[in-house]
Structure 1
Amino acid sequence: MLDKVIVGSEEWCSFPQLGIHAIKARVDSGAKTSALHAVNIVPFEKEGEKWVKFDINPIQKNVKTVIHCEAPLVDKRVVKSSSGFREQRYVIRAETQVGETRWEVELTLTNRDSMGFRMLLGREAMSGRILVDPEQKYLLGQPTNEKLQEYYDKGEEPKRGLRIGLLASNPELYSNKRIMEAGELRGHEMHFLSLKDCYMKLDAHTPEIHYRGGRVLNNFDAVIPRIRPSMTFYGCALTRHFEALKVFCLNSSMAISQSRDKLYSLQLLLNSGVDIPTTGFANSPLDTNELIKMVGGSPLIVKLLEGTQGKGVVLAETKKAAESVINAFKSLNANILVQEFIKEANGKDLRLFVIDGKVVATIQREALPGEFRANIHLGGTASVIKATADEKRIAIKAAKAMNLKVAGVDIIRSSKGPLLLEVNSSPGLEGIEGATNKDIAGAMISAIEKNFKWK
């Protein structure tokens, strides 16, 4: 008992290894785990080990003071906050100092802008070391304003590159990690902006985008929207608001929105003279037989308009199967397309990656045995292939028709020539970078640099 340190309900502590010389903590024996404020949290690998890097504003209500930290990643776990909100957090270990006592604690990383303290010291970290007197504060002392200035007032860092935000949902996705790495390697200030943590202020005089905790997202030069299908409406609204704030968006909100509407996108492509497989669309199940005839009969493909990454795509091999699938979808009030089946493609298609009007890489995707459509997400394989001049022309034309600076264009080879299947506004990088060994993420950053005439 005598060996334990007595602390108040609020204390100042430090994390020497992280470069955090002073941070105010809430001492809370009701909380199991300790938490440290962190933004721009990005996992990465260092010498074969998993690490995480993050930024911290150690002083409450001071976003100008930023400490860049990195630490080995210990775990990921779901933490339930006092308000009942569940959040998956990264976990690190770091040596902390409270008064004259030092020991290693486990910390979850989370944005605490909306909380009163940049750090929460939980009971697991206190066990066997600390006694809390809840009526007292700062029993171990607190730094003066002059001392805090000495710790953190290093002057404003000169701007090295562009300030670029990656607007997405999952920082752990290969594509998102690669884009962050590519931007940082080219000297830019990269920020991962979680879609669900952004919200908008609509105002004629001071429109703003805020981030979790109230931080205003201002002074961004560019934003790279990578919006998952389930977040299309909100993601496009955010992108549109960035555009209203005169922030350059690599893909515009309008382009993303129309690319996610499969029917509308096919109509746009046809109007631009791009050939597609014969496709039918109808509202009433009474037209099922005519719809099947329209696309040349069975076998045929039935696609959900809202489906992505190969989900919601069914091969109906017989007329009876086609009727059953179409009527089943219609009974659920699902919007579907019916499309001719290109048998000679033999489960293969091409993915052409278009950036700023140029085809930068091409792969051939091949379906698993027994599957009818190539899809890397579902276990298909990818290999390098040379696209023909006609295929490149179609891909560039399709991206232009959709007004996309970055696009994954899927083409199938048929007896009638190359036919366009789909245009993706948030194409994945893992398959195409892995197969071609090309720096696609770097090419995306280069397209932003070109817009700003950045050297």
Structure 2
Amino acid sequence: MLDKVIVGSEEWCAFPNLGIPAIKARVDSGAKTSALHAINIHPFIKDGDNWVRFDINPIQNNTKTVIHCEAPLVDKRIVKSSSGYREKRYVIKANIQVGDSNWEVEVTLTNRDSMGFRMLLGREAMSGRILVDPEQKYLLGQPTTEKLKEYYNKNEEPKKGLRIGLLASNPELYSNRRIMEAGEMRGHEMHFLNLKYCYMKLDAETPEIHYRGGRVLNDFDAVIPRIRPSMTFYGCALTRHFEALKVYCLNSAAAISQSRDKLYSLQLLLNSGVDIPTTGFANSPLDTNDLIKMVGGSPLIVKLLEGTQGKGVVLAETKKAAESVINAFKSLNANILVQEFIKEANGKDIRCFVIDGKVVAAIQREALPGEFRANIHLGGTASIIKATAEEKKIAIKATKAMGLKVAGVDIIRSSKGPLLLEVNSSPGLEGIEGATNKDIAGEMIRAIEKNFKI
């Protein structure tokens, strides 16, 4: 017992192996797991082992001081916070120094911006080594302001490149990880901004965007919106607010919104001279028969206007089946599009990736044997292909019609020539980078740099 360190409810500690000379911790024997504040968390392989790379702002309410850390990855586990929120976290092992004692502990990584302490020391890390006097604080001393400046000023690097935010929902998604890596490789300060953690202050004089815990996000040079369909409304509202703050957005809120409106986007494309499969739209179920004739009869495709890519899409192989599907949707007051089925495409489409008015890569996607494919990509295999001049022209024209800087344009080859299926404002990178071996994420970063003449 005499060998144990006596600490208060709050203490300063250090993580020498992570390059963190001082960080204030909440000592909480009621918490099983220790937690360390971390942002920009990315797993990677080092010498054949799993590691994780992350950044930390070690001083509360100070986002300018950043420590870049790497540590062996031990596990990923679900942790329940004190507020009852369940979160999957990366777990690392690191040496912690408390007073004159030093030992290895397991620590979970999580964003603690909303908490009062950058570090939580739980009972697993304290077991057999620490006794807590909850009435006391800083029994082991605390660094002066001058000492903290001495510790951390040397870690503050002069600003290089741009401060870029990736506005998305899942930091582990391949596309998001690649964009973060590409930006960092080109010397930019990258921040993953979970759009669910962002909130806005609408004010004529001092409009702001805040992040969980109250951090103000008004100091970004550029933002890359990658908004999942279910978050379109809120994601576009945030993007508009960044635009109001004069932050450059790679795709504008207006462009994203109109690309997500299936009917409006098709009308814009036609007005720009882009051919699409013959498509019908009606409000009344009394017009079903003529609607079917309008698109050339069965087989035909029925698409929910509010459906996301690959969902809410039905192939009706006969006239009777088409009538049943259309009337069923109408009975639910659902808005639908009816579209001709391009049989000669034989389950294949072309994805052209357009960045800043140029087709940077193209792939052909083919459905797996026996898989239903309704003029829309549902999965299968991808292979590199040389898009024709006409297909490239359509892809560029379609992207321009939507007002997008970055888009995945899906084209189907028909007996009438190439027809445009869809313009995706948040196209995935995994399939096209894997098939072409091109650095698409890097091209996206270069498109931002061109705007700043870097």
Equivalenced residue count is 454
How big is the shift at 1:52?
2.1
How many Å separate the matches in 2 of 1:76 and 1:187? 29
- Pairs within 5 Å for 1:1-400: 1-154=1-154, 156-373=156-373, 378-400=378-400
Partners of 1:40 and 1:193 within 8 A in 2: no
Q: Secondary structure in 1 aligned to 2:426?
A: coil
How big is the shift at 1:126?
1.4
Q: Secondary structure in 1 aligned to 2:106?
A: strand
User: Which residue in the other structure is 2:412 paired with?
Assistant: 412
How many Å separate the matches in 1 of 2:259 and 2:240? 15
How big is the shift at 1:375?
9.9
Q: Secondary structure in 2 aligned to 1:73?
A: strand
Q: Residues 156 and 33 from structure 1, CA distance in 2 versus in 1: closer, same or farther, beyond 3 angstroms?
A: closer
Partners of 1:9 and 1:136 within 8 A in 2: yes
One-letter code aligned to 1:342: I
How many Å separate the matches in 1 of 2:232 and 2:45? 30
How many Å separate the matches in 1 of 2:35 and 2:253? 36
One-letter code aligned to 2:58: P
Q: Secondary structure in 2 aligned to 1:74?
A: strand
One-letter code aligned to 2:306: E
Q: Residues 203 and 259 from structure 1, CA distance in 2 versus in 1: closer, same or farther, beyond 3 angstroms?
A: same
Indicate the larger mover: 43-52 or 369-378: 369-378
One-letter code aligned to 2:179: I
One-letter code aligned to 1:67: I
How big is the shift at 1:33?
0.9
Q: Secondary structure in 2 aligned to 1:64?
A: coil
Q: Residues 220 and 375 from structure 1, CA distance in 2 versus in 1: closer, same or farther, beyond 3 angstroms?
A: farther
User: Which structure 2 segments of 5+ residues have no match?
Assistant: none
Indicate the larger mover: 366-375 or 322-331: 366-375
How many Å separate the matches in 1 of 2:263 and 2:257? 12
User: Which residue in the other structure is 1:434 paired with?
Assistant: 434
How many Å separate the matches in 2 of 1:328 and 1:91? 49
Partners of 1:376 and 1:431 within 8 A in 2: no
Q: Residues 439 and 250 from structure 1, CA distance in 2 versus in 1: closer, same or farther, beyond 3 angstroms?
A: same
One-letter code aligned to 1:168: A
| RMSD across aligned positions (CA) | 1.7
Partners of 1:376 and 1:382 within 8 A in 2: no
Indicate the larger mover: 90-99 or 231-240: 90-99
Partners of 1:200 and 1:210 within 8 A in 2: yes
Q: Residues 156 and 13 from structure 1, CA distance in 2 versus in 1: closer, same or farther, beyond 3 angstroms?
A: closer
How many Å separate the matches in 2 of 1:327 and 1:48? 57
Q: Secondary structure in 1 aligned to 2:149?
A: helix
Partners of 1:365 and 1:375 within 8 A in 2: no
Partners of 1:236 and 1:257 within 8 A in 2: yes
One-letter code aligned to 1:346: N
Q: Secondary structure in 2 aligned to 1:438?
A: coil
The C-alpha deviation readout for 1:164-205, integer Å capped at 9, x for no partner, is 111111111111111111111111111111111111111111
One-letter code aligned to 1:313: V
Q: Secondary structure in 1 aligned to 2:175?
A: helix
How big is the shift at 1:376?
10
How big is the shift at 1:148?
1.6
User: Which structure 1 segments of 5+ residues have no match?
Assistant: none
One-letter code aligned to 1:63: T
Partners of 1:55 and 1:67 within 8 A in 2: yes
How many Å separate the matches in 1 of 2:375 and 2:41? 30
How big is the shift at 1:404?
0.5
TM-score normalised to structure 2 length? 0.96
Q: Secondary structure in 1 aligned to 2:330?
A: helix
How big is the shift at 1:136?
1.5
